[in-house]
């Protein structure tokens, strides 16, 4: 199929290029039709770079089926460019594509260069995976570290590793830190490693000056040399430091000798990358002697701006080669006055881009490729006839390198009512941020019919933290009725698959078995995963029944006494465990309601066909117990691979595409671990904690959900969509401390020292600053910025990110509200106030309906709750009376009793289907240590009913003893002496009330059983009402008077006075039954005995 598509594409290109000559002739020319060389084109507009690339690929096409190779910084940029290349070539003028995007390879730089090393140096010289990648180095270091600790130079490491507890995991974590550090050294400080290999104990700075290493860091060169020594001879020169040298040397030598290196692509396009190490820039320059290397550079400024950031003395680039200073700049700039000539936002956020541009400028020779293009500097203004708002002016200021306005009188007026290009929103939580965003997007889509969901990007610092809130708010409308006007189509990209897939989450839970308490809710959550309950033959609709059993059988946590002993508790402590509960279920099925056997109280709720479900539950718990024991053993990596696959086969039944994909990802991650350990020559046994962490890292690195640009509102982190233009860019989570992200470098990271900084060094903080700059520049019409601006606890103001603060300061300095100051407030601050909306804590706040145009909501249900604030207009849904309650057939007296006892709860439950008790329907995960009020009442009531069952006070001691034993074995009481104390107190109370009951019974000694009663009545609306009820047992005196004698453990009076007042809310429960008996023609007195009489 692909071959036929490619043929059609070739024929289409032959027809399309007929006016320029034969396409076939062009495709069969020598390699000179795609001349080699390094070409750098730059623009502040990614759209301009994209269109230039399309035009260049059309002018200098490769042969049919020959692959284009394009390097991008993320999959998101690759996807955006791929869609642009595939656009109809006869589309919008100047915006057409190639008509198809086939045989186009989008790669990340690190992978491309590793493959290129193999092509240039020979495939046999390199493995598929570098032995010096962080993953492989980590395993090597993990195995190597214990053998080095006796050497004096490694005393700092020994001090850390020999702390008490968690030695294996601590060694694994340290190995990871060191592996990442050495990988960074290979890329950014290759000269250090080469010096260390030669026995040097020093490091160089950017100017080449040599510094001796501090004795506290002398272990780093020693560790690097030990690492090389342990490697096979063939691998020692496969570090990127060595390979880069050999790669560049081989390319230069071949170019000098006129040799052609087979296997390299004829053209390499670098698109949308804002930073590369100097090592890779050197490699690109060396490749350009053999192939065409086209770098499409997104430059935010049309002037030379490297001077405006500290460290410019380390740069080789100078103004004049491509870009010049602004015409109004002085001839000499000094550090004290440069801020007067620099754009403050570019100076604060642009270091990373500045360093990259400087590295490229050092290699740039524009005279060699200028004739390939009409223009190589494609800067275009942001401000134009259709774009003149505040956002466009800020972007234009960056483009033109405009300095901050120092004279307040020169500030430009902004009318926020007419200019909606930039807004700030402050909320109380992430949930509220997303709720507010949903309303704001609905408003934006409603105001602009040309704005579509695909034109909107929402970026957050941590997509995994925001994903549940996004699903809760945006997903709620997706599942509603068809045509819901509040539904905004969306998708979440860039999520870690391990946190998305239920199957992968279940597997990671299984890996955690040895350190989990295995509470009832944890195990039930695991059983709820389809792949798990399918494996054990349990249906999803049976899990609710299992939950009921667990609650009633007293299952709380722990597999058995042995499992609890592993967590530091008494081995004999088995009550409330899974073993105890399963035994009760199985014995209950075998014996029904019976006395305890061998201290096991039968749980008689498992009956009939449910025995199969109980058996499958027991099988599931037995498998968990087996793997809990199995995972506790240390193994070699090959043995772990088999154990992990056994765990998958034993506990997961994969079905469907999503689960099969998860299974493939698990299998691939396990293979990767085995391969990495083999490559590192690791043959040690490993504990589970190391394997678990390694497997989790492998799953996170290898499989991330990359669903970009799917025609909906895109949610992602800032990284994958950096610099891609959208009509509306929304930034959420811009909180102080959360963005820029802070990651303190390790104490032993020598690159982190200020004096050893080099242009091009990567820093997460500087990377985030440049990401923010690119996000601001990517907004074509609207920029929306949100942060948690008030505490959810005390409503105190909380500052935004320092980057947002800098943007707001820049706005206040350069623009003002309206035509000038109004009152005492600074006009710049007044503008910020007008651009910023401080939202209330709750989505249903009446402030949303008070008429403030900045505060609104599309949630009609909240509008109905505030008719007085919502203004004029009908609100029928909130005012219509309920239909009459349909009564089908006869009713009992119980609904009336419930209504009188708690009218509001009964009404909302019966008529509205709502619950007001707020009780959480979840399992208890710990054994009871005390009884709450309801549980204490239930204990008192059960013992009282046990005594009243016979009414023979001579049997009461034996009845209480048996009831106490049954209650203790049922799991309803705390353990030990606490249970005895509770039983003693409850028995004393029950005996007291039962004694009162006996006294009352003697006044009415004869028992009467009235039987059923049927009473026809007329309701309030004239409807017929039939009450049918079995009357309870009555008592009759010698005088023929009837009485209903009831006993309750409920306190019916308040206070401790001689005549305490009654608790009418409790006594009213008995009133309907009293009326019914008397209405049935039996004149009866109702006597309720309680603790006080």
Chain segment 459-490, per-residue pLDDT in tens = 999 999 999 999 999 998 765 555 678 899 99
CATH 3.40.50.2000 given to domain 504-704:
no
pLDDT of residue 702: 54
User: What values do phi and psi take at 413, rounded to 5?
Assistant: -80, 145
CA angle in degrees (0–180, nearest 5) for 975-980-983: 115
Q: DSSP string covering 523-584, please?
A: HHHHHTSHHHHHHTT--GGGHHHHHHHHHHHT--B-SSHHHHHHTTS-TT--TTSHHHHHHH
Q: In the chain, pLDDT over 90 holds for what percent of residues?
A: 49
Residue 936: Cβ within 10 Å count: 16
Identify the DSSP state of 91.
S
Please give the residue that has the higher pLDDT: either 967 or 30. 967
Q: Which CATH superfamily is domain 417-494+708-742+771-841 in?
A: P-loop containing nucleotide triphosphate hydrolases (3.40.50.300)
Query: Which two tokens mark 104?
Result: 């186009």
In the chain, residues under CATH classification 3.40.50.300 are 417-494+708-742+771-841
> Longest Cα pair distance anywhere in the chain, in angstroms?
130
Cβ atoms of 346 and 338 within 8 Å: the answer is no
The region of weakest confidence among 189-198, 219-228, 846-855, 883-892 is 883-892
Domain 127-237: give its CATH code. 1.10.10.160
The string of pLDDT tens digits covering residues 311-323 is 655 555 566 677 8
Across residues 618-623, what is the average pLDDT? Answer: 96
CB atoms within 10 A of CB 1039: 6
Where is pLDDT greater, at 914 or 22?
A: 914
- The Cα–Cα gap between 1083 and 98 comes to 97
Which tokens is 131 given? 């032995």
Q: Which bin fits 591, alpha (ψ -120 to 50), beta or left (φ > 0)?
A: alpha
More confident residue, 1085 or 1017: 1085
Per the prediction, the chain carries an average pLDDT of 86
pLDDT band at 605 (very low <50, low <70, confident <90, very high): confident
Helix (H) or strand (E) holding 8: helix 2-16
pLDDT band at 27 (very low <50, low <70, confident <90, very high): very low
| DSSP code, position 866 | -
Among the listed ranges 682-686, 784-788, 1011-1015, which one has the minimum average pLDDT value? 1011-1015
For 679-718, the DSSP string reads HTT--S-B-HHHHHHHHHHHHHHH-EE-----SSEEEEET
Q: State the Cα angle at 840 between 837 and 842, rounded to 5°.
A: 140
Q: Determine the Cα–Cα distance for residues 573 and 927; give it in Å rounded to an integer.
A: 11
Domain with CATH 3.40.50.10930 in the chain: 31-123+249-300+350-372
pLDDT at 11: 35
Lowest mean pLDDT among 93-102, 172-181, 873-882, 1015-1024: 873-882
Among 190-199, 474-483, 899-908, the range of highest mean pLDDT: 190-199
> Per-residue pLDDT tens for 378-429?
999 998 877 789 999 999 999 999 998 888 888 999 999 999 999 999 999 9
Residue ranges matching CATH 1.10.486.10 in the chain: 504-704
Averaged pLDDT, 656-669: 94
Who wins on pLDDT, 823 or 186? 186
Q: How far apart are CA 767 and CA 275, in angstroms?
A: 9
Q: What is the pLDDT of residue 93?
A: 56
Overall average pLDDT of the 1019-1045 stretch:
84
pLDDT at 12 over 60: no
Is the per-residue pLDDT at 703 higher than 60? no
Task: Give start-end residues of each CATH 1.10.10.160 domain in the chain.
Answer: 127-237
Instruction: Classify strands 292-298 and 37-43 as parallel, antiparallel or unpaired.
Output: parallel
Measured distance CA(1062)–CA(1055) in Å, rounded: 9
- Return the CATH number of 31-123+249-300+350-372, one of 3.40.50.970, 3.40.30.10, 3.40.47.10, 3.40.50.10930: 3.40.50.10930
CA distance 73 to 273: 5
pLDDT band at 8 (very low <50, low <70, confident <90, very high): very low
Task: Give 96-134 as a 3 state SS string.
Answer: CCCCCCCCEEEECHHHHHHHHHHHHHCHHHCCCCCCCCH
- Decide: helix, strand or coil at residue 92: coil
- Taking a C-beta distance cutoff of 8 angstroms, is the pair 43, 298 a contact? yes
Residue 1041, classed as helix, strand or coil, is coil
Lowest mean pLDDT segment, chosen from 190-204, 243-257, 460-474, 991-1005: 991-1005
Residue with tokens 């036929």: 4
Asked which of 336-345, 581-590, 658-667 is least confident by mean pLDDT, the reply is: 336-345
> pTM here?
0.85
Range of weakest confidence among 115-124, 208-217, 338-347, 590-599: 590-599
Closest CA to 781 of 485, 450, 486: 450
Over range 145-170, report the average pLDDT: 88
- Closest of 388, 280, 250, 284 to residue 815, by C-alpha: 388
Contact between residue 1014 and residue 1031 where contact means Cβ atoms under 8 Å apart: no
C-alpha 767/C-alpha 741 separation (Å) is 9
Mean of pLDDT values over 928-956:
83
Task: Find how far residue 777's CA is from the centre of its chain.
Answer: 26
Q: What is the pLDDT of residue 974?
A: 84
Q: How confident is the model at residue 821 (pLDDT cuts 50, 70, 90)?
A: low
């Amino acid at each position: 199929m692909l071959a036929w598509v490619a043929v059609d594409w070739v024929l289409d290109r032959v027809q399309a290029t007929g006016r320029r000559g034969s396409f076939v002739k062009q495709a069969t020319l020598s390699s000179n039709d795609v001349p080699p060389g390094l070409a750098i084109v730059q623009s502040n507009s990614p759209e301009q770079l994209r269109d230039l690339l399309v035009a260049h690929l059309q002018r200098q096409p490769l042969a049919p089926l020959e692959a284009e190779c394009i390097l991008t910084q993320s999959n998101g940029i690759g996807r955006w460019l791929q869609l642009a290349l595939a656009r109809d070539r006869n589309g919008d003028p100047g915006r057409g594509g190639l008509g198809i995007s086939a045989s186009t390879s989008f790669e990340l730089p690190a992978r491309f260069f590793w493959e290129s090393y193999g092509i240039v140096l020979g495939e046999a010289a390199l493995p598929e995976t570098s032995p010096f990648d962080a993953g492989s180095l980590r395993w090597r270091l993990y195995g190597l570290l214990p053998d080095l600790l006796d050497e004096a130079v490694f005393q700092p490491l020994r001090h850390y590793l020999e702390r008490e507890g968690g030695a294996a995991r601590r060694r694994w974590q340290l190995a990871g830190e060191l592996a990442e550090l050495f990988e960074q050294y290979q890329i950014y400080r290759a000269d250090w490693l080469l010096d260390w290999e030669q026995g040097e104990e020093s490091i160089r700075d950017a100017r080449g000056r040599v510094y001796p290493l501090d004795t506290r860091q002398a272990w780093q060169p020693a560790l690097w040399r030990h690492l090389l020594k342990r490697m096979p001879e063939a691998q020692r020169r496969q570090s990127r430091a060595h390979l880069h040298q050999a790669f560049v040397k081989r390319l230069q030598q071949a170019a000098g000798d006129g040799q052609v290196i087979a296997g390299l692509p004829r053209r390499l396009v670098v698109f949308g990358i804002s930073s590369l190490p100097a090592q890779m820039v050197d490699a690109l320059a060396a490749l350009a002697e053999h192939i065409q290397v086209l770098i499409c550079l997104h430059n935010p400024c049309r002037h030379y701006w490297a001077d405006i950031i500290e460290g410019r003395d380390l740069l080789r680039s100078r103004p004049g080669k491509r870009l010049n200073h602004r015409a109004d700049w002085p001839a000499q700039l000094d550090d004290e006055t440069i801020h007067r000539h620099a754009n403050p936002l570019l100076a604060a956020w642009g270091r990373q881009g500045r360093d990259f541009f400087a590295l490229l400028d050092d290699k740039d020779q524009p005279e060699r490729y200028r004739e390939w293009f009409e223009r190589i500097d494609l800067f275009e203004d942001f401000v134009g006839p259709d774009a003149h708002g505040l956002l466009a002016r800020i972007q234009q200021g960056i483009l033109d390198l405009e300095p901050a306005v120092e004279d307040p009188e020169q500030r430009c007026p902004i009318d926020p009512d007419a200019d909606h290009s930039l807004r700030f929103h402050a909320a109380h939580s992430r949930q509220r941020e997303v709720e507010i965003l949903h309303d704001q997007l609905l408003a934006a889509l409603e105001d602009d019919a040309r704005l579509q969901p695909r034109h909107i990007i929402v970026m957050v610092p941590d997509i995994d933290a925001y994903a549940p809130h996004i699903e809760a708010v945006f997903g709620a409308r997706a599942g509603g009725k068809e045509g819901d006007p509040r539904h905004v189509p969306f998708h979440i990209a860039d999520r870690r698959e391990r946190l998305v897939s239920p199957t992968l989450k279940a597997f990671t839970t299984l890996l955690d078995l040895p350190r989990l308490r295995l509470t009832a809710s944890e195990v039930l959550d695991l059983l709820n995963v389809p792949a798990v309950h399918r494996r054990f033959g349990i249906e999803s609709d049976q899990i609710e029944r299992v939950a009921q059993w667990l609650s009633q059988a007293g299952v709380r946590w722990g597999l058995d006494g042995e499992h609890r002993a592993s967590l530091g508790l008494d081995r004999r402590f088995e009550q409330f465990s899974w073993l105890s509960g399963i035994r009760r279920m199985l014995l209950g099925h075998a014996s029904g309601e019976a006395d305890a056997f061998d201290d096991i109280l039968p749980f008689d709720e498992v009956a009939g066909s449910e025995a199969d479900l109980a058996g499958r539950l027991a099988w599931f718990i037995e498998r968990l117990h087996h793997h809990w024991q199995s995972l506790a053993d240390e193994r070699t990596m090959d043995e772990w691979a088999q154990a992990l696959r056994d765990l998958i086969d034993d506990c997961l039944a994969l079905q469907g595409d999503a689960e099969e994909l998860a299974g493939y990802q698990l299998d691939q991650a396990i293979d990767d671990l085995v391969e990495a350990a083999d490559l590192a020559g690791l043959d040690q046994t490993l504990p589970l904690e190391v394997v678990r962490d390694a497997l989790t890292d492998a799953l996170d690195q290898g499989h991330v959900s990359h669903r970009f640009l799917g025609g909906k509102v895109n949610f992602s982190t800032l990284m994958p969509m950096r610099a891609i233009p959208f009509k509306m860019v929304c930034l959420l989570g811009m909180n102080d401390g959360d963005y820029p992200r802070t990651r303190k470098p390790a104490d032993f990271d020598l690159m982190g020292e200020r004096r050893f900084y080099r242009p091009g060094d990567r820093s997460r903080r500087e990377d985030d600053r440049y990401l923010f700059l690119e996000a601001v520049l990517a907004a074509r019409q609207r920029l929306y910025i949100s942060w948690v601006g008030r505490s959810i606890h005390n409503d105190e103001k909380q500052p935004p990110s320092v980057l947002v603060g800098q943007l707001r300061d820049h706005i206040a300095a350069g623009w003002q509200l309206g035509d000038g100051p109004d009152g005492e407030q600074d006009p710049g601050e007044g503008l910020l106030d007008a651009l910023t909306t401080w939202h209330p804590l709750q989505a249903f706040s009446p402030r949303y309906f008070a008429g403030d145009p900045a505060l609104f909501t599309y949630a009609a249900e909240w509008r109905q709750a505030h008719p007085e604030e919502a203004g004029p207009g009908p609100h029928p849904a909130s005012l219509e009376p309920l239909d009459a309650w349909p009564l089908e057939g006869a009713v009992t007296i119980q609904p009336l009793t419930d209504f009188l006892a708690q009218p509001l709860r009964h009404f909302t439950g019966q008529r509205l289907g709502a619950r007001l008790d707020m009780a959480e329907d979840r399992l208890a995960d710990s054994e009871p240590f005390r009884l709450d009020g309801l549980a204490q009442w239930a204990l008192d009531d059960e013992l009282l009913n046990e005594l009243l069952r016979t009414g023979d006070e001579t049997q009461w001691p034996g009845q209480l003893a048996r009831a106490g034993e049954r209650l203790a074995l049922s799991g309803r009481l705390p353990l030990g002496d606490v249970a005895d104390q509770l039983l003693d107190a409850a028995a004393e109370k029950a005996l007291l009330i039962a004694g009162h009951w006996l006294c009352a019974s003697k006044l009415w000694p004869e028992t009467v059983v009235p039987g059923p009663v049927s009473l026809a009545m007329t309701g309030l609306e004239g409807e017929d009402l039939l009450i049918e009820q079995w009357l309870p047992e009555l008592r009759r005196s010698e005088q023929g008077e009837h009485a209903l004698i009831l006993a309750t453990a409920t306190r019916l009076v308040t206070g401790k006075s001689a005549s305490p007042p009654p608790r009418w809310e409790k006594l009213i429960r008995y009133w309907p039954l009293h009326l019914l008996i008397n209405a049935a023609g039996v004149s009866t007195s109702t006597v309720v005995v309680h603790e006080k009489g």
